[in-house]
Amino acid sequence: MRREGTNPQSVEMSDVLCDFCHSSWTLDRPFIEGHQGACICGVCLTTAYRAICLAHCDDAISGVPTRCTMCLEDRSDACFRSPAFPESVICTRCIAMAAKALARDADSAWTVPTSEATTS
């Protein structure tokens, strides 16, 4: 998401906020952009990946498709909901795509989590 009042002609890194924790984009915090400016940072992606892909949690309400903040589709796969901002949801497909993209990006220094532990 964009910080309120961001000049669309000159978007600064600090104007780009993670939809899941509302942190701004910094050099040591990799970001992945979804549709219409939706973003998830590496820290939230790690949390989401652990919850959905490793611990097999699902924050979706059963039987109701969940609108994913990142791809804007109504998804029926497992979804991660931001604990701080419950209106922000990311589907399994977007988590997998973002994880692949960040892991491939040498500058991000982000690695795919391999354990469910929340401390790293």
> Of 43 and 54, which CB lies nearer to Zn ion in the complex structure?
43
1 forms part of the interface with Zn ion (CB under 5 A) = no
Q: Which of 60, 80, 82, 68 is nearest to 38 (CA)?
A: 68
Give the interface size with Zn ion as a residue count (CB under 5 A): 10
C-beta atoms surrounding 36 within 10 Å: 10
CA quadruple 85, 86, 87, 88: dihedral sign: positive
Query: From residue 32 to residue 71, what is the string marking binding to Zn ion with x (rule CB under 5 A)?
Result: ---------x--x-----------------------x-xx
Tokens of 4: 């309120």
21 forms part of the interface with Zn ion (CB under 5 A) = yes
* Contact set with Zn ion (CB under 5 A): 18, 20-21, 41, 44, 68, 70-71, 91, 94
